[in-house]
Chain A
Amino acid sequence: MGNPIQTDALIIGAGPVGLFAVFELGLLNLNCHVIDILNKPGGQCAQLYPEKPIYDIPAYPVITGQDLTENLLKQVKPFSPVFHYEQLANKIRKQKNGNWLVETDKGLVFDVKAVVIAAGGGSFEPKKPNIPDLDKYSKSIRYSIDKVDRFKNKDIVILGGGDSALDWTLQLYDIAKSLTLVHRRDKFRGAPATVEKVMSLRDGGKIQFHVGQVNEIIGSDGNLTAVKCIKENKILDLPCDILMPFFGLTMSLGPVDKWGIDLSDERIVVSTETFETSIPGIFAVGDINTYPGKLKLILSGFHEAALMAHAVFKRINPDEKHTLQYTTTSSSLQKKLLNQ
């Protein structure tokens, strides 16, 4: 374990509710670090529906997921939260002084007084195609690209028709031995300029493109050698060292499942007074929690974040007298908010 990062609260999830939790904790002088599995803030708002309008945010007749995220980032800026992206909270351990040590899959360690799980539907992970023996060849199957060198002089087959499939096609075609793109139709969902580039590679014979579906993979000792692709009732054998399926992301509860927190139907059970879980010092807000009457709405998550923050404050400062202050009237709060 490296040197732990010390702060008041670690927020797991940089979606709208995680961001607003930073704000509410910040009003109470509590500092936060935030981790997220994605490479950007916004959670589902950024990943699933950045351009889709949301109509049920109070005081916004309509706002996109992207704009909501940007506004929240502005709102939390005075509190200088520190973001750590592309990390998954992996292990958690209670210390003698009551603090929690949280370790991410990338090896970061946090020493915090409270953990706030604001992980929405859980952590995002790539969808896997339904191909027999897929797991046997896991070292030949890539859902992202770490080292580009790994793809040099390889026969690559990319599945899908969205931005990821197209972007990686453009990135890899000239270092690969061969690159074949397989998609269920001849229309693509990507940015028009990207689609155009991919089409010109196809027309120029730089890549192969098939409308079809890969349903069988072939190899030995865990290394792929070929895939079978069904195209208009014919079966094509495509040489393949590396298969890259891009069918978007799905969400799963992930390691939180193993932390010993009480769950109900894959959601974290919380008190509606404090939004604390069954383990003192671990809180859960937003879509990931459940309680009688729970509505999975962003606005509910905002409410939960406020109550959670006050409960965290009381936990950290049990003897301090604590009164609710208003941002409209409290000069100390205004100083904090304007002093950025």
Chain B
Amino acid sequence: MVVINFISSKGVLKSVNAAEGETIMDCAKNNDIYEIEAECGGGCSCATCHVYIQDEWVDKLDAPTEMEEDMLDFAIDVKENSRLSCQIKIDKTLDGITIQTPEKQF
């Protein structure tokens, strides 16, 4: 099991157990992280699973693909550390990662 820490836009921390192989989006949906919408269900087609990765973790992730960058154009309040959570697969190197969810997905 891998621990994922979600911090809501209001600053509330929720730490959950995730399985390796699932995406951060799956993990968020399974654990009622309500600020993740994921309208398209994980197809990198809607930009409503947008998250901010805590700075020290940004470089530990594979860089976003061009498809993800394109889709991030449709997210709201995109920052340097923005990612689409459906494109991040969980493995044990992400144990303890901290992810902030945005106030708005649309």
Question: With A49-B45, A52-B45 in contact, is A130–B76 under 8 Å at CB?
Answer: yes
By the criterion CB–CB under 8 Å, are A127 and B43 in contact?
no
Give the contact stretch, choosing among B16-24, B52-60, B66-74, B93-101: B66-74
Choice from A184, A250, A296 contacting B41 with Cβ under 8 Å: A296
A250 to B46, CA, bound (A): 8
A105 to B59, CA, bound (A): 49
By the criterion CB–CB under 8 Å, are B74 and A128 in contact?
no
By the criterion CB–CB under 8 Å, are A127 and B74 in contact?
yes
For chain B residues 60-106, which have a beta carbon within 8 Å of chain A?
69-70, 72-78, 102-106
A185 to B70, CA, bound (A): 10
How far in angstroms is the closest Cβ of chain A from B83? Answer: 14
By the criterion CB–CB under 8 Å, are A130 and B78 in contact?
no
Closest B residue to A161 by beta carbon equals B73
Question: With A185-B69, A189-B70, A189-B73 in contact, is A130–B104 under 8 Å at CB?
Answer: yes
Residues of A within 8 A of B102 (CB): 130
By the criterion CB–CB under 8 Å, are B45 and A48 in contact?
yes
Residues of B within 8 A of A296 (CB): 41
By the criterion CB–CB under 8 Å, are B76 and A183 in contact?
no
Q: Confirm or deny: A81 has a beta carbon within 8 angstroms of a beta carbon on chain B.
A: no
Q: Confirm or deny: A143 has a beta carbon within 8 angstroms of a beta carbon on chain B.
A: no
By the criterion CB–CB under 8 Å, are B45 and A183 in contact?
no
A185 to B48, CA, bound (A): 19
Question: Mind listing 28 A-B residue pairs with CB under 8 Å?
Answer: A48-B40, A48-B45, A48-B46, A49-B40, A52-B45, A127-B74, A127-B106, A130-B76, A130-B77, A130-B103, A161-B73, A162-B73, A162-B74, A183-B73, A184-B72, A184-B73, A185-B73, A189-B70, A189-B73, A247-B47, A248-B46, A248-B47, A248-B74, A250-B37, A250-B46, A250-B48, A250-B105, A250-B106
**8 A-B pairs with the lowest CB-CB distances in the bound complex, closest first:** A250-B106, A248-B74, A127-B106, A48-B45, A189-B70, A49-B45, A161-B73, A130-B104
